[in-house]
Structure 1
Amino acid sequence: MLQKGVLTEWTEKEGIDVADEQSVRKEEERRLSEVLKQVELRLDKELSVLGERRGDVVGIRQEFWDDVRMNFSDATELGETWTSIMQQKEILMERERSHRVAFEAVEKLAKMHDNPYFARIDFAEDGCKPEQIYIGRASLVGDDGETFWVYDWRAPVSSLFYDHEPGLVSYDTPEGEIDGELTLKRQFVIRAGKLKHVFDTDETVGDDILQAVLSEKSDTSMKSIVATIQKEQNRIIRDEKHRLLVVQGAAGSGKTSAALQRVAYLLYRFRQSLTPDQIVLFSPNPVFKGYISRVLPELGEANMRQMTFRELIEARLGRRFQVEDLFSQTEVLSASEGTAEGAARERAVRYKGSEHFFLTVERYFDRLENEGIRFRPLRFRGDTIASADEMATQYYSIKASEGFAYRAASLRKWLLAKLAAWADSQLDQPWVEEAAELADDEEIQRAYVQIRRGGGFHEDAFDDEDRMTDALKKRAVEAAVEPLRKAVKSYRFLDAVGTYRELFRSRSLFTDCSPDGKLPEGWEWMAARAEETLARKIIDHEDATPLLYLMEGLEGFRKVEGDIRHLFVDEAQDYSPFQAAYLRRRFPQARLTVLGDFNQAIYAGSQDSGGFGGWTRLMAKEDTAVWRLTTSYRSTRQIVEFSRKILLPEEAAEIRPFQREGEEPRLMRCRDGAQLADTVAADIRSLLEQGHGTIGVIAKSAKECGNAAALLKERLPDEVPVTYVTGGSAELPRGVSVLPSYLAKGIEFDAVVVWDASAARYGQERDRKLLYTVCTRALHVLHVYHLGEPSSWLPQGS
């Protein structure tokens, strides 16, 4: 069997016969030519179909109303007209669906023409002849329906390429295990339909392929990794046994890429029962959402639902409250470093994300089953329709065993009935009569139509005027109380904020609910802070999840998303135990895949959580698998070695660099801000000239980034794009991106320039992981600048 190497570069001194090399290459080029002909034939057919479908859609749209029989003379004709419109609509929708399917087929085949496959395995099933299996991003089947020119990388047999070396092997299928012998593993680099390189290997993915792929320049979007999936990543991608997968991966180990390939695999494996809208991925920020948005479409799959935890909070609390986000909280804590206020706030942040506080709130729920829920009175213009005490009496008259959901729904029904009765009692009140008299033409017309439908305004009617007045009064009352009705329907009568505040108003209540009967350190400060902020309808980020959990618990978790089958959480180490527990309750039926890196736990609320914030306690041990990815593929060996030294030895022990060589990271001192800006601007010009398309200038805070972006724009020519990336940015641009440290997570750049990694900026112990995170964003080049003394976490003498 051929040994590992680049076939186009092998020589006889390496023990490989040149004639064999040429023969293999010619064989593979001939086969590639056959596949491309198949792709072209299929592409011609699909283009023809696409043209027909496009013509159908355009024609139907243009002639839509010509083919509809329009008649509004009576109810029967109106019904027939409506039926005719709906028939035309169904025909148009069907043609549009066919057009979309044809367009997607053409798009897939066009990509396949550029790069139809990346691997070949020769496999002989027990008792059968060997078969050559070519593996690509999508399958290509002959017109006979039996000839497989290319197998999809997600097909069961394709797992042999990722999981096994040549020899006796087996692989799992839905029908059972298949045994046989793997006799060849071959890899290809194909670009624009041309065979560039051929590799034979005994490994999962040969180092030569990885070297070639990892040496490429970065893009503004994440790439698919199907051609370079490693054995340990493949296990994560294809795991169907466990309900909870926890993936601890070093920076650049491919955990996010593996997660996205897992989504693609699940959609392929369960294509009859799983759709993209049944999968949710939580991203760390909007920039990252945009960064990964092209991976699944590149694989021919629609994107799953993506959201940030911030968006989840905003959807429930953002309309009524000013809610602080995680990045604002981080900036506040950074600005108040070294002060008593800052220390107190940080204690509160850490505590309110802890498992201790989650258990305290859970025990508080036990108390609330029997007493203590606060209600908002139902009032209208000073009149109390239902008082808070009446609501409490009505609520607690229902057995606690019925649960929060049933009791809240019953109280809601009672309030709606009470509101309707009160509205009827107001019909003769002066304010109603006045509103009826001031009705506009539109309201009068609606009242007229209502009475006409009821038999009014004909020759035998004698009370039309009175009926009009009554109708206008009733409509006036209904319009006036509609906001109250909506509030009741949306459970606004439950005062979750007031109920939450009670927990911090009473020491005895808090200690009774505390699992160890103790108050946390700094409880008095937390109590005063909660009273002051919540009274002003301001919610600190650390209060948002507990408050949301309490709110939805009082409503009986009516907002749970039981139709979601898979939940993916990236940067999971940044989620507090409280947030992890909330997501589990919000998505009760979902299987969980959580990914993160202990060494990148940069936020105060998650740094005491042991890395994954209690994720592993969410499900039974037998339903849980913990995977570790220790090899860092993103950065060069030199950058990985430099970054490892920032961490504590025990934290860095398992991190292994992939042996891709590059230049040593540079550590440079500047005397002041002006020299820093001048030197970085010159550095950027040089990096761009070297061909680096994406350059990240990373400062610690947003304030520093704003200053850095302004200084660099002054010093760089207009043709060099400098973009200040904020928490609201949705896309990562090409050129120079200036961004704060906490927004860089999960993103990579050809070159990273660290803006002022001085002891003054990165001097605290918690800054160690932040600095590590920043440095590990670089693929090829890392330049670290500092004013004054460098951070003590940085390797010295670099």
Structure 2
Amino acid sequence: MSKERSIREEEEKRLTEVLGIVERRLLKELSVLGERRGDVVGIRQEFWDDVSFNFSDETELGETWSSIVQQAEILAERERSHKVASTAASRLALQRDNPYFARINFKEAGDGFKESIYIGRGTIVGDDGETFYVYDWRAPVSSLFYDHEPGPASYETPSGTIEGELTLKRQFVIRRGVLKHVFDTDETIGDEILQAVLSERSDTSMKSIVATIQKEQNRIIRDEKHKLLVVQGAAGSGKTSAALQRIAYLLYRYRDTLTPDQIVLFSPNPVFKGYVSRVLPDLGEANMRQMTFQELIESRLGRRYEVEDLFSQTEALSAAEGTPEGDARETAARYKGSKHFFETVNRYLKRLEKEGVKFRLLRFRKDTIVSVEQMEEHFYGVLGHEHFGDRLAKLRRWLNVQLDQWVDSQLKEPWVQEAAELTDDEEYQRAYVELRRRGGYGEETFDDEAQISELLMKRAAENAIAPLRKAVKGFRFLDPLATYRELFRSRTLFTACAPDGRLPAGYEWMAQRAEETMDRKELDHEDATPLLYVLEALEGFRKVDGEVRHLFVDEAQDYSPFQAAFLRRRFPRARMTVLGDFNQAIYAQAEESGGFGGWTRLVPAQETEVWRLSTSYRSTEPIVNFSKRILKPEDAEGISPFHRQGEEPLLASCADGAELADRIAADAKALLETGYATIGVIAKTARECANASALVKERLGDDVPVTLVTGGSANLPRGVSILPSYLSKGIEFDAVLVWDASDARYGREQDRKLLYTVCTRALHVLHVYCLGAPSPLLAASGGSVPATDSSSAQASNEAPTAADAAPAAADAAVPTNSGALPRAAKVQSATDVPSSAEVNR
């Protein structure tokens, strides 16, 4: 018998044994799940039948309440049991499909015993409760698989370092409980597995990658020492995947003290939120809290002001591109996100401790209850010796006292008496009950009606000023907008607060812009974070999320230094993991230096670790090389593709919009028929996308699903998705069709990183179309070549290109190879790809 056959039989025997354990446990959990479901349904149906009601006296009322509470506790316990059983059954169902993906043999130093360790997405223990058949990939011993090749090896445990020798490293492809392939490897992760995973077609959501974690990613995932972890990675290098695996690892490592609610992930847009939402549940963990930065802003400012979001700002800047107004707006956006402005605002806040806070008067109809001057006098005069934070709470109490006094002063006013006379029977009854509770309507009282009348008048006055009470409770007597705006009304004030004593370039335009927009309670995106910072500083940062222990920020290069500092202040106890790529910094607010200085300044250097991931796994080697040439040589220098071959990207010019739509539609249809599931048509702006969507839908008809993805979209569907460039960040598609990468659309130096970002969204196929001359940024990426006769492609068994199917312009360009779409045979069968290793990097 050959060695390979012997190994396979050994592993198949082991797999059968493990699957038997999983199957028995799954049947047991399904039985429990059925029982618990029946219990929950039964209790809900009979809840009130099992409660004894008696309201005759206080004792019986108490017993009735106890009966209700007892029944509710029983229901809650059954619901918890049902949830536990459901989670266990789901996990076991995944393990039945693929119980493990790797095996290592490890011999501890000084110990003759050699242990075989199987690694999977979750632990599997034998029926005796002691024998480990499979170790969770997050267990300390599992790091041997990710970090070492056969030979001397060690791993860290809470009790210290374990050293020894790794004598075997083996990987498996298991699908639906069937062993497909066995690989012995001397590398960290075998290329066979990576090739299989990376060749797989994309899906509408990201998948777990535990079988293909690389050594450098594993170190990021398991880092427990640093307060700030910065991950700079090339497009497709697995930054986001590593972050999600890190969250899963932390929840496993600190499962007794850390909950998903104590972890927050900031996503670049709503589409991305939906895209990554399945990763943690696939690993048996509940999702962390996930939000966009805009959602954080809207939660605090959205009710008061009309707040522009980042995407609307990008559209506005694009529409004004090259104009004096557009240049001035871009300068303002960059400055208001800078460290200089953050320091200026901080110095301004310090100055506000002595003077300058703007207040809003409390007024009822035309009567002023408390004036702005009275608030200023009390805040800076009477309370001037108090700590700034304490003053606000005391001012709020003082304002409530002023409202109490005003209510008392109004009791004899005609409007109050009229309001009391209009009281309905229900309100009168409530007043009667309250008076009885106070001791009124007794045998010795003689002014009961007068008391009720007074009570009704007081309630009428209180009801009238209820909005003022609510405003005082919510600190609405502060005017943060006027306070912030003062920086742009007074040149003297700004220079006094600026760290260098100078006005920034474009100050006059910023001042005029503030006057125009803020009068209408409209906020430019670049003003939203500074205003929110001023608001929360005035209120004493009462909305601080002190319970959050870990903060993850994806696409961190797009956050300004001001936003980074604000998040540090908002989540003061959280350890931070920030991920990004300098080459994808596409927004005006991004730091011009092209680094993570806005983040690394927040934490001492000795508590910060910076990792760089240079290998791009997402795209084929031709696509990575094409995209690299868009960048400046010094920026592209550290990017290296994983050796996965594919067709050369196509670069073609179109005579007009009709031809462009023809080619895009033909491409999309051909790609879908070839077997690709997700096709991204990416235009520069939302306005272009709306036009592209209409044209492509008209040509494809109802047979092909075409979805226009907007800033409010939460899900990425299968089929053809048409979306603006800035919404494509963090997402990937089987094929990307770039809508008009011409000189007119991507001709400026500022467009370089945006075009690079768009092209790196493609997993397998990239077609770039231009209306007229291509962007000069594409010149080094290949450029135009003579057209290839479509018949030659068909004669060589290649499927005809979309360009072949559409009318070709005389100067149309095709890729440097045959330009054909890949044959169906080139796309690896899904049955040959390990489910445990499913990932779209």
1:497 to 481, 485, 488: 481
Instruction: Indicate conservation of the 8 Å contact 2:561/2:591, yes or no.
Output: no
Q: 2:641 maps to what in 1?
A: 657
Tell me whether 1:204 sits opposite 2:188 in the alignment.
yes
Q: CA deviation at 1:497?
A: 0.7
Provide structure 2 residue ranges, at least 5 long, that are not aligned to the other structure. 785-814, 816-841
> Which whole-Å CA distance do the structure 2 matches of 1:610 and 1:120 have between them?
42
Q: 2:259 maps to what in 1?
A: 275
Q: 1:101 maps to what in 2?
A: 84
2:72 to 89, 114, 132: 89
Instruction: Indicate conservation of the 8 Å contact 2:585/2:594, yes or no.
Output: no
Q: What is the SS of the residue equivalent to 2:578?
A: strand
> Which whole-Å CA distance do the structure 1 matches of 2:381 and 2:548 have between them?
35
Query: Which aligned pairs between 1:290-369 and structure 2 lie closer than 5 A?
Result: 290-369=274-353
> Which whole-Å CA distance do the structure 1 matches of 2:286 and 2:385 have between them?
44
Q: Deviations over 1:20-75 (max 9, x none)?
A: 00000110011001000010111111112112211221221122112111112222
Q: What is the SS of the residue equivalent to 2:2?
A: helix
Q: 1:426 maps to what in 2?
A: 410
Q: 2:774 maps to what in 1?
A: 790
Letter in 1 for 2:329: R
Tell me whether 1:43 sits opposite 2:26 in the alignment.
yes
2:544 to 560, 580, 584: 560
> Which whole-Å CA distance do the structure 2 matches of 1:557 and 1:456 have between them?
45
Letter in 1 for 2:580: G
Instruction: Indicate conservation of the 8 Å contact 2:21/2:127, yes or no.
Output: no
Q: 1:692 maps to what in 2?
A: 676
Instruction: Indicate conservation of the 8 Å contact 1:573/1:613, yes or no.
Output: no
> Which whole-Å CA distance do the structure 1 matches of 2:304 and 2:482 have between them?
14
Letter in 1 for 2:480: A
> Which whole-Å CA distance do the structure 2 matches of 1:786 and 1:69 have between them?
76
2:694 to 696, 710, 732: 710
1:736 to 704, 708, 720: 720
Q: 2:818 maps to what in 1?
A: none
Q: CA deviation at 1:185?
A: 0.6
Q: 1:187 maps to what in 2?
A: 171
> Which whole-Å CA distance do the structure 2 matches of 1:265 and 1:398 have between them?
53
Q: 1:509 maps to what in 2?
A: 493
Q: 1:467 maps to what in 2?
A: 451
Instruction: Indicate conservation of the 8 Å contact 1:576/1:609, yes or no.
Output: no
Q: CA deviation at 1:609?
A: 4.6
Instruction: Indicate conservation of the 8 Å contact 2:363/2:369, yes or no.
Output: yes
- Normalised TM-score (structure 2): 0.92
Q: 1:11 maps to what in 2?
A: none
More moved, 170-179 vs 605-614: 605-614
Tell me whether 1:23 sits opposite 2:6 in the alignment.
yes
Letter in 2 for 1:552: E
Q: What is the SS of the residue equivalent to 1:634?
A: coil
Q: CA deviation at 1:143?
A: 2.2
Q: CA deviation at 1:398?
A: 6.0
1:453 to 432, 437, 441: 437
Q: Deviations over 1:366-420 (max 9, x none)?
A: 2111111111111112222221121112112367675432111111111111211
Instruction: Indicate conservation of the 8 Å contact 1:575/1:612, yes or no.
Output: no
More moved, 403-412 vs 79-88: 403-412
Letter in 1 for 2:48: W
Letter in 1 for 2:665: A
Percent identity between the two aligned chains:
73
Q: 2:632 maps to what in 1?
A: 648
> Which whole-Å CA distance do the structure 1 matches of 2:291 and 2:440 have between them?
54
More moved, 591-600 vs 394-403: 394-403
1:57 to 28, 40, 44: 40
Q: CA deviation at 1:613?
A: 5.2
Q: 2:244 maps to what in 1?
A: 260
Query: Which aligned pairs between 1:195-234 and structure 2 lie closer than 5 A?
Result: 195-234=179-218
The RMSD of aligned alpha carbons is: 1.2
More moved, 462-471 vs 759-768: 462-471
Instruction: Indicate conservation of the 8 Å contact 1:636/1:660, yes or no.
Output: yes
Letter in 2 for 1:23: S
Letter in 2 for 1:693: A
Q: CA deviation at 1:778?
A: 0.3
Q: CA deviation at 1:461?
A: 4.8
- Normalised TM-score (structure 1): 0.96
Seen in structure 2, the aligned counterparts of structure 1 residues 168 and 398 have a Cα distance that, compared at 3 Å, is: farther
Query: Which aligned pairs between 1:119-198 and structure 2 lie closer than 5 A?
Result: 119-128=102-111, 129-198=113-182
Seen in structure 2, the aligned counterparts of structure 1 residues 426 and 291 have a Cα distance that, compared at 3 Å, is: same
Seen in structure 2, the aligned counterparts of structure 1 residues 609 and 475 have a Cα distance that, compared at 3 Å, is: farther
| Higher RCO structure, 1 or 2 (CA under 8 Å, sep 6+) | 2
Letter in 2 for 1:538: E
> Which whole-Å CA distance do the structure 2 matches of 1:782 and 1:610 have between them?
27
Instruction: Indicate conservation of the 8 Å contact 1:398/1:407, yes or no.
Output: no
Letter in 1 for 2:388: F
Q: 2:569 maps to what in 1?
A: 585
> Which whole-Å CA distance do the structure 2 matches of 1:489 and 1:399 have between them?
19
> Which whole-Å CA distance do the structure 2 matches of 1:472 and 1:400 have between them?
39
Letter in 1 for 2:20: K
Instruction: Indicate conservation of the 8 Å contact 2:100/2:118, yes or no.
Output: yes
Q: CA deviation at 1:526?
A: 0.2
Q: CA deviation at 1:478?
A: 1.3
Instruction: Indicate conservation of the 8 Å contact 2:100/2:119, yes or no.
Output: yes
Instruction: Indicate conservation of the 8 Å contact 1:245/1:626, yes or no.
Output: yes
> Which whole-Å CA distance do the structure 2 matches of 1:525 and 1:217 have between them?
50
Provide structure 1 residue ranges, at least 5 long, that are not aligned to the other structure. 1-17
Letter in 1 for 2:746: Y
> Which whole-Å CA distance do the structure 2 matches of 1:356 and 1:92 have between them?
57
Q: Deviations over 1:491-524 (max 9, x none)?
A: 1111111111111111111111111111111100
Q: 2:395 maps to what in 1?
A: 411
> Which whole-Å CA distance do the structure 1 matches of 2:759 and 2:493 have between them?
46
Letter in 2 for 1:35: V
Q: CA deviation at 1:441?
A: 3.2
> Which whole-Å CA distance do the structure 2 matches of 1:399 and 1:209 have between them?
69
1:632 to 616, 625, 630: 616
> Which whole-Å CA distance do the structure 2 matches of 1:790 and 1:549 have between them?
43
> Which whole-Å CA distance do the structure 2 matches of 1:655 and 1:403 have between them?
52
Q: 1:9 maps to what in 2?
A: none
Letter in 2 for 1:267: L
Q: Deviations over 1:264-290 (max 9, x none)?
A: 000000001000000000000000000
Seen in structure 2, the aligned counterparts of structure 1 residues 398 and 147 have a Cα distance that, compared at 3 Å, is: farther
Tell me whether 1:598 sits opposite 2:603 in the alignment.
no
Instruction: Indicate conservation of the 8 Å contact 2:679/2:721, yes or no.
Output: yes
More moved, 609-618 vs 90-99: 609-618
Q: CA deviation at 1:612?
A: 2.7
